[in-house]
């Protein structure tokens, strides 16, 4: 990989949140895995080990015996091999796109997938970390999401750094479900874009209670139909959002942390109490948008949603900022979930 090429994607200031940027609706079709992109909305807990697909296995169990001559439709595929291959390809593409995450960094995480496929058939990969720090087991569950907006590169890269912290953290007291790249098509197209492959802003597509009443109306009035904010034809119309919604239902997080850029602040939706600061970011509540994750999970489901807005979309925070944000987040999560401050945070973390 020529690091200069990759750096131009991850480090370039020119990439920062360009409001005037025209999205390409109905972007290029990828036939790759679309054959297995199912509309299957069966609830699926995020428990798959890399390469094992419980729904896929169930589905193949139900396949009719192969009959000679009955091969005019899809050939039989080993779905666990398909997901394995798709995860490998995903890491290859992430490594080629981001200056701060190499293909090797990505593969080293051994990301898993269940039934989450993007519009263009890329996996919505995740990693589960279990609690290790307490004898009493997990104190709670945290869902951490990066890359809902595909042109916010740093939000993906920082997830990989924080996963490395989690990996090494022997005192972690929580279960973490980390989804570093919720909108793979948005990031991994040639010219990264905020929306998914169908031109939908995923952070306006969550089925909040006010979606039907407000989402399209506000988009027309408040955003003058800015394509970058298009909420979709109806609530939860996009597979990436449906999958995240399923994870929230199944995983039942006590806290959701969503990472964005480049507004350099901390936002918060949901029941009290918000963190006052995370690293150098200070709390500045922006209000709730119909169809946003904060509106859906924070207000409707009463799950605290912390939104981290990193200062730059294309430039990573310093190592010390990455670390201090993480320590503040973990400490806040601890207090939020248990009601008590964390006893001791190991400095090696």
Q: Give the footprint of Zn ion on this chain (CB under 5 A).
A: 149, 152, 260
Q: With respect to Zn ion, which residue has the nearer C-beta, 93 or 195?
A: 195
Minimum gap (Å) between residue 260 Cβ and Zn ion: 3
Minimum gap (Å) between residue 153 Cβ and Zn ion: 11
Minimum gap (Å) between residue 294 Cβ and Zn ion: 11
Q: With respect to Zn ion, which residue has the nearer C-beta, 152 or 185?
A: 152
| Three-state SS sequence of the chain | CCHHHHHHHHCCHHHCCCCCCCCCCCCCCCCCCHHHCCCCCCCCCCCCCCCCCHHHHHHHHCCCCCCCCCCCCCCCCCHHHHHHHHHHHHHHHHHHHCCCCCHHHHHHCCCECCCCECCCCCECCEEEECCCCCCCCCCCEEEEECCCCCCCHHHHHHHHHHHHHHHHCCCCCCEEEEECCCCHHHHHCCCCCCCCCCCCCHHHCCCCCCHHHHHHHHHHHCCCCCHHHCCCCCCCCCHHHHHHHHHHHHHCCCEEEEEECCCCEEEEECCCCCCCEECCEEECCCCCCCCCHHHHHHHHCCCCEEEEECCCCCCCCCHHHHHHHHHHHHHHHHHHHHCCCCCCCCCCC
Q: With respect to Zn ion, which residue has the nearer C-beta, 151 or 254?
A: 151
Minimum gap (Å) between residue 46 Cβ and Zn ion: 23
Minimum gap (Å) between residue 273 Cβ and Zn ion: 24
Q: With respect to Zn ion, which residue has the nearer C-beta, 152 or 269?
A: 152
Q: With respect to Zn ion, which residue has the nearer C-beta, 53 or 278?
A: 278
Q: With respect to Zn ion, which residue has the nearer C-beta, 121 or 180?
A: 180
Minimum gap (Å) between residue 148 Cβ and Zn ion: 6
Q: With respect to Zn ion, which residue has the nearer C-beta, 236 or 308?
A: 308
Minimum gap (Å) between residue 202 Cβ and Zn ion: 9
């Amino acid at each position: 990989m020529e690091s200069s090429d990759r750096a131009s994607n991850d480090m370039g200031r020119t990439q920062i949140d360009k409001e005037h940027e025209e999205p390409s609706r109905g972007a290029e079709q990828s036939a790759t895995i679309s054959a297995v992109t199912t509309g299957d909305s069966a609830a699926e807990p995020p428990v798959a080990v890399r390469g094992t697909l419980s729904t896929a296995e169930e589905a193949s169990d139900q396949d009719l015996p192969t009959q000679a001559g009955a091969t005019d439709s899809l050939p039989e595929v080993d779905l666990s091999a398909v997901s394995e291959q798709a995860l490998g390809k995903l890491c290859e593409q992430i490594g080629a796109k981001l200056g701060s995450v190499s293909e090797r960094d990505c593969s080293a995480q051994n990301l898993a997938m269940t039934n989450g496929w993007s519009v263009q058939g890329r996996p919505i990969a995740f990693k589960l970390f279990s609690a290790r720090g307490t004898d009493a087991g997990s104190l709670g569950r945290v869902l951490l999401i990066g890359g809902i907006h595909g042109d916010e590169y740093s939000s993906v890269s920082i997830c990989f750094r924080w996963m490395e912290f989690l990996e090494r953290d022997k005192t972690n007291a929580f279960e973490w479900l980390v989804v570093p790249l919720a909108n793979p098509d948005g990031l991994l197209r040639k010219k990264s874009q905020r929306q998914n492959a169908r031109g939908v802003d995923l952070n306006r597509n969550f089925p909040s209670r006010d979606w039907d009443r407000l989402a399209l109306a506000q988009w027309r009035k408040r955003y003058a139909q800015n394509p970058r904010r298009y909420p979709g034809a109806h609530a939860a119309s996009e597979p990436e959002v449906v999958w995240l919604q399923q994870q929230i239902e199944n995983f039942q997080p006590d806290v959701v942390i969503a990472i964005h850029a480049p507004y350099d602040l901390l936002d918060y939706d949901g029941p009290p109490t918000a963190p006052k600061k995370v690293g150098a970011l200070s709390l500045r509540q922006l209000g709730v948008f119909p169809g946003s994750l904060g509106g859906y999970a924070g207000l409707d489901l009463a799950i605290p949603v912390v939104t981290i807005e990193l200062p730059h979309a294309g430039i990573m925070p310093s190592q010390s900022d990455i670390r201090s944000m993480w320590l503040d987040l973990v400490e806040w999560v601890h207090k939020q979930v248990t009601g008590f401050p964390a006893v001791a945070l190991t400095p090696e973390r």
